[in-house]
Amino acid sequence: MAEPLLRVENLNVTFTAYGRTRQVLRDVSFTVAAGERVALIGETGSGKSVTAKAIIGTLPKNGRITSGSIAIGGRDVLTMARGEREALKGTAFSLIMQDPLSSFNPVFKIGTHLDDVMRFADRRDGKVSSKADRNARIAAVLRRVQLADTERVMNAYPSELSGGMRQRVLIGLALLHQPRLLIADEPGTALDVTTQDEILNLINHLVAEEDMALLMITHNLGVVRKVADRVVVMHHGDIVETGPCTDILHRPSEEYTRSLLDAVPPLYGPRVTDLPQSGEPPIVRIERLNKIYGRRNGYHAVRDVTLALKAGEIFGLAGESGSGKTSVARMIMGLSRPTSGKLAIDAPDPGRGKRLTQIVYQNPGTSLNPKRTVKQTLTLPLKSIGMDAARRDARMRELLELVRLPQSYLAKYPHELSGGQKQRVAIARALAAEPKILILDEPTAALDVSVQKTVIELLMQLREELGLTYLMISHDLSLMRNFCSRIAIMLRGEIVEEGPTPEVFAGPRHPYTRALIAAIPVVTDEEERLKPTVTDEERMRFLVKTTD
Amino acid sequence: MADMKMLDSSDRGLSTGYMMWYRFSRNPAAVAGSLILLSVVILAVFAPWLTPYPKHVGAVVDFRARHLPPDLAHWFGTDKAGRDIFSRTIFGLRVSLLLVIGVLGISVPVGTVLGLIAGYFGGWVERIVSGLTNVMLAMPPLVMALAVSNLLEPTLMNAMIAITLLWWTWHARLIYSVSKSIASEDYIEAARLAGAGPLHILFREILPNCVSVISVKTTLDAAFVILFGATLSFLGFGVKPPTPDLGSMVADGRQFMPDFWWEVLCPGAAVLYVTLGFNLLGDGLRDMFDVES
């Protein structure tokens, strides 16, 4: 058997912080053969990124490889001299970063970024190259990542390109020197689904065309199905199982992998949950709502939106970034005033200090004050509705019970809690002042899938127990398929399609809805088959341009 | 950044206090700075008991002992009136510390509150506060201080007033920018939705997040205040003689340089010692608070 391109053997890595040493990787071994596509999958803290950093040689200062070996092309990189190892970057392997915006220095043009990399690599190889020659080579690379107007892209500043285009340039940057192994750290996760889909297609296309090997690091099982031949599942620094992609996704042998797959909300098939439709009268009525930001030639964020939220239902407002879904939610919350149109909430006045609506934010890391304990955070809404200390304590105990957190958590600060626990505290805060309508702004986007599952279950139970109405804003259609009873799709400020969730997914009428659903990475082949089809012409009409 | 987050999440069991203490105790600069300041505070507070010639603080004249070089009886030598420079330096530290407490005790709260308000409310409040700070910052500080102490009598109190008038602007401007960025955080909006009033948001939600910035800035500022105070007294606008003040002691000794070098160098070294202490501690605090930022 030929020596694989990348061989990681019994890799052990420890991190030292605050005088304590922890093992973050335990005997991690896997290989990537030439031309093979391998996905490293795991949740937060599984060690997948640490593994990638160890391979590239960018472990943080307090991380240490205690034993094991990493061989690229049969040569152990850990025993290599520094300069020699440095020289491998870009030629033996290349890296595609996660965040397409922060990877560029905003004050330099795209062309400068690419030219710098090329110039340094040429100098390292002892080659003298002219600017014109390098420019020609850069243009060729940009064309390979499907950026046809190379002149414009090279003269643009990073902020002038869309997220998808920046991600393409990053991929181009990685390809400058025909590496044999491409390491991709969650490419496209920061982008919209449709853009992410195109980026994954591009990576697949390039890997096949250039005969590169791919090591994809991701937490998304749908992405894995799309881009990997073989999957390595990691959990808490251990490799749980390794196998061909279809085996892992359809016939996992380990309990952990099964639970991970179970937590992924299905898009189609028997596992899909259909929520009952609410027969209640509408509680929120919106008619021809418009929002224009700025005075003259302002940005028309919401155009003639007409909606009705029935009491007790979970209404999903779906759309990609910039579609206006958050603007609609903020107007319902009373946080911003509509430019024109009617907005009525049909419920009795809740009384002193109470609000009909409350919100659960996307990122619990930023929606809880880091300097305030859970108790202080929860006291605020209770105090504002006029509860005295004794009743507040009782109510706080009740709230923690509602969100299934132990009482001892009252004294904790946010940084002592995990992401899911923080989101539970945020939910408790939202519920404290007894709202009727809860707005969920992508409540699980910042969480791992298994945590997402528990938070969603909690939200479902709370709705039943407390008789709440939810408005969920999200771009994650597979989650909304299972969580919302009705759904509306927004595109550039307008609602393009609306209806009961099962109907919308069974027969999406608007081409944009079809394109959106088709772009979702799914786990099983069956779901892929059931997705609606979109013609290229439709795709061109509705999707954000990521090429030129 | 991502690495740090990963680490911190794994250290969830550790309390903030422990993490800060860990960073502090392993930061030689911070430890050295706080030891220096501890010694300065002890010396200043117990000056009457720790100094060999506490009477020399006043208008004592002993011409037989004038301009004595440093020896075992007079560690820092004596000055033109035969007074023990060591004793006077220690008492001079008292004046310096009083100045720091007086100036920062007023200007930090004032600057902080104005900064918080301007950053959170925005609009015309922001325009007024930032306009005022801009005007104040445009004045040359030394000229301004000299003008004020010229108008009033040159006493410690008036020097304090002169410096305070200038100092709050730096704090206002710093806290303004911090407050402005915190004001747009999700948790501030969440607090508003939970029914919090402006006072609660300013002092319970935003202020705790400014504590690290304020304490670093205040510590570093203390060093500047001492230098500034010393400059004023050096120019003759500070503390009235015979009260010992480090700046005026340096000024007095200047005419006897280089023959009686100890009269300038010893009080000067004391200024250096205190300033260094504050600066080291300030830098150490900055590293320590990086825990959260």
Contact B195 A381 (CB under 8 A): yes
pLDDT of A195 strictly over 80: yes
Distance of CA A34 to the CA centre of its chain: 29
Q: How far apart are CA B47 and CA B95, in angstroms?
A: 11
Kindly list the residues from chain B whose CB atom is less than 8 angstroms away from the CB atom of residue A62: 7
Across chain B, the runs of DSSP E, i.e. the strands, are: none
- What's the pTM? 0.84
DSSP B140-208: -HHHHHHHHHHHS--SHHHHHHHHHHHHHHHHHHHHHHHHHHHHTSHHHHHHHHTT--HHHIIIIIIHH
Chain A residues touching B193 at Cβ < 8 A: 333, 355, 358-359
Cβ contact A380–B22 (<8 Å): no
Residue B131 lies in a domain: yes
CA distance B123 to chain A (A): 16
A280 shares a domain with A157: no
DSSP string, A46-87: SSHHHHHHHHHT---TTEEEEEEEEEETTEESTTS-HHHHHH
Q: Are A444 and A464 in contact (CB under 8 A)?
A: no
Q: Based on the structure, what is the number of domains in chain A?
A: 2
A485's CB contacts (< 8 A; 6+ apart) are A275, A276, A277, A278, A313, A314, A315, A500, A501
Smallest Cβ–Cβ distance between A22 and the set B10, B15, B22 belongs to: B10
CB atoms A359 and B209 under 8 Å:
no
Greater pLDDT, A32 or A187: A32
Pairing of strands A75-76, A63-72: antiparallel
Instruction: Name the residue among B171, B257, B245 with its Cα closest to residue B214.
Output: B171
Q: Measured between CA atoms, how close is B203 to chain A, in angstroms?
A: 12
To the nearest whole angstrom, how far is the Cα of A438 from the nearest Cα of chain B?
12
A355 contacts chain B (CB < 8 A): yes
Q: In terms of residue numbers, what domain contains B38?
A: 15-289
In a shared domain, residues A281 and A172 = no
Q: Is the dihedral of CA A329, A335, A339, A342 positive or negative?
A: positive
> Could you give the CA distance from residue A316 to residue A462 in angstroms, rounded to a whole number?
17
Window 305-334 of A: residues touching B by CB (8 A cutoff) are 333
Nearest Cα to Cα of residue B133 among B88, B93, B167: B167
Structurally, chain B folds into a number of domains equal to 1
| The domain boundary residue, chosen from A263, A288, A311 | A263
Domain boundary among A227, A248, A263: A263
The answer, yes or no, to whether residue A167 has pLDDT greater than 70, is yes
Residues 6+ apart with CB under 8 A from A191: A100, A163, A164, A167, A199
Backbone φ and ψ of A250, nearest 5°: -105, -30
- Of A71, A40, A76, A77, which is closest to residue A57 (Cα–Cα)? A77
C-alpha dist (Å) from residue A418 to A242, A369, B159? 28, 15, 52
Cβ atoms of residues A400 and A409 within 8 Å: yes
**CATH code of the domain in which A289 resides:** 3.40.50.300
CB contact under 8 A, B195 and A384: yes
Residue A548 lies in a domain: no
C-alpha–C-alpha distance, residues A346 and A349, integer Å: 9
Determine, for residues B12 and A22 on separate chains, whether the beta-carbon distance falls below 8 Å. Answer: no
**Cross-chain residue pair B193–A359, CB shorter than 8 Å:** yes
Residue A71 lies in a domain: yes
CA–CA separation, A169 and A119 (whole Å): 17
Q: Characterise B157 by phi-psi region: left (phi > 0), alpha (psi -120 to 50), beta (else).
A: alpha
CATH number for the domain spanning B173: value is: 1.10.3720.10
CB contact under 8 A, B195 and A426: no
pLDDT at A545: 56
CA–CA distance, B175 with B118 (Å, rounded to integer): 9
Q: Closest residue of B to A353, CA-based?
A: B195
Report whether the peptide linkage leading into residue B258 is cis, meaning its omega lies within 30 degrees of zero: yes
* Interface contact B186-A367, CB threshold 8 A: yes
Residue B8 counted as domain residue: no
Is A308 domain-assigned?
yes
* B17 conformational bin, left if phi > 0, alpha if psi -120 to 50, beta if neither: alpha
Lowest-pLDDT range, A335-344, A528-537, B116-125? A528-537
Is A107 found in the same domain as A69? yes
Out of A204, A239, A263, a domain closes at A263
For residue A75, the cross-strand partners are A72
Judge if A232 and A305 occupy the same domain. Answer: no
Domain-located, residue B58:
yes
Q: Within a domain: residue B3? A: no
Chain B, nearest residue to A376 by Cα: B204
Residues B281, B219 contacting (CB under 8 angstroms) = yes
The answer to whether residue A25 sits within a structural domain is yes
Give the model confidence (pLDDT) of A282-306 as tens digits: 899 999 999 988 877 778 889 899 9
Exposure pattern of A14-37 as b/e (b: 16+ CB <10 Å)? bbebbeeeeebbbebebbbbeebb
In a domain, A459, yes or no: no
The verdict on A182 and A276 lying in the same domain is: no
* Residues of chain B in Cβ contact (below 8 Å) with chain A: 2-4, 6-16, 18-19, 22, 185-191, 193-196, 200, 204-205, 208-209, 211, 292
What chain A residue is nearest to B22 in terms of C-alpha separation? A18
Judge whether A448 lies within some domain.
Answer: no
Cα(A547)–Cα(A149) distance, rounded to whole angstroms? 9
Instruction: Give the integer Cα–Cα distance in Å for A462 and A469.
Output: 10
Q: Which DSSP helix (H) or strand (E) runs through B35?
A: helix B28-45
- Are A380 and B189 a contacting pair at CB < 8 A? no
Please state, in angstroms and rounded to a whole number, the distance separating the CA atoms of residues B112 and A431. 34
Residues A201 and A275 in one domain: no
Q: Is A437 helix (H, G, I), strand (E, B) or coil?
A: strand
3-class SS letters over A244-262: EHHHHHHCCCCHHHHHHHH
- Asked whether the beta carbons of residue A17 and residue B13 sit closer than 8 angstroms, the reply is no
Provide the domain limits for residue A315: 266-347+466-542
Using a pLDDT cut of 70, give the percent of chain A over it: 98
DSSP letter (8 states) at residue A371: T
Q: What residues of chain A lie within 8 A of the CB of B196, using their CB? A: 380, 384
Whether B26 is covered by a domain: the verdict is: yes
Structural domain includes residue B5: no
Q: What is the pLDDT along chain B (293 residues), one digit of tens a residue?
A: 333 333 334 445 567 778 778 888 888 888 999 999 999 999 999 988 888 888 877 777 777 878 888 888 888 888 887 888 888 899 989 888 988 999 999 999 999 999 999 999 989 999 999 999 998 888 887 888 888 877 887 777 887 888 888 888 989 999 999 999 999 999 999 999 888 889 999 999 999 999 889 999 999 999 888 888 888 888 887 777 778 888 888 888 888 888 888 888 888 999 999 999 999 999 888 888 765 43
Q: What is the pLDDT of residue B58?
A: 77
Angle between helices A163-175 and A193-210 (to 10 degrees): 20
Q: Is the pLDDT of residue A13 over 70?
A: yes
Examine residue B4 and state whether it is found in any structural domain, yes or no: no
Same domain membership, residue A233 and residue A133: yes
Encode B184-208: b = buried (16+ Cβ within 10 Å), e = exposed: ebbbbbbbbbbbbeeebbbebbbbe
Reply yes or no on whether the pLDDT at A57 is more than 60. yes
**Do A58 and A74 fall within a single domain?**
yes
- In a domain, residue A175? The reply is yes
CB contact under 8 A, A63 and B204: no
pLDDT score of B13: 58
Residue A118 has pLDDT above 80, yes or no: yes
Mark yes or no for CB contact B185/A62 under 8 Å: no
Q: A82 with A131, same domain? A: yes
Q: Could you tell me what percent of chain A has a pLDDT over 90?
A: 30
Residues A170 and A277 both lie in one domain: no
A70 shares a domain with A174: yes
Is the complex ipTM higher than 0.95? no
Highest mean pLDDT (candidates A92-101, A536-545, B180-189, B254-263):
B180-189
Chain B CB contacts of A15 below 8 Å: 7, 10
A 469-508 near B (Cβ less than 8 A): none
**β partners of residue A359:** A439
Print burial letters for B136-160: b (CB count within 10 Å at least 16), e (below 16).
Answer: beeeebeeebbebbeeeebebebbb
Kindly determine whether residue B186 and residue A366, on different chains, have CB atoms separated by under 8 Å.
yes
* Alpha-carbon dihedral sign for residues A161, A165, A168, A172: negative
Q: Which residue from A413, A418, A429 is facing B194, i.e. has the nearest CB? A: A429
Backbone angles phi, psi at A489, to 5 degrees: -105, 130
In a domain? residue B6: no
The nearest CA of chain A is from the CA of B120 a distance in Å of 15
Residue of B1, B6, B200 for testing the chain A interface, max A β-carbons within 10 Å:
B6
Instruction: Give A6: exposed, middle or buried? Use CB within 10 Å, 0-12, 13-18, 19+.
Output: buried
Chain B residues touching residue A63 (CB < 8 angstroms): 3
CB contact under 8 A, B195 and A18: no
A133 and A256, same structural domain? Answer: yes
Q: Measure CA of the first residue to CA of the last residue in chain B; give whole Å.
A: 10
| For residue A100, cis peptide bond before it (omega within 30 degrees of 0) | no
**B186 contacts on A by Cβ (under 8 Å):** 361, 363, 366-367
For residue B193, what is the nearest residue in chain A, using CA coordinates? Answer: A358
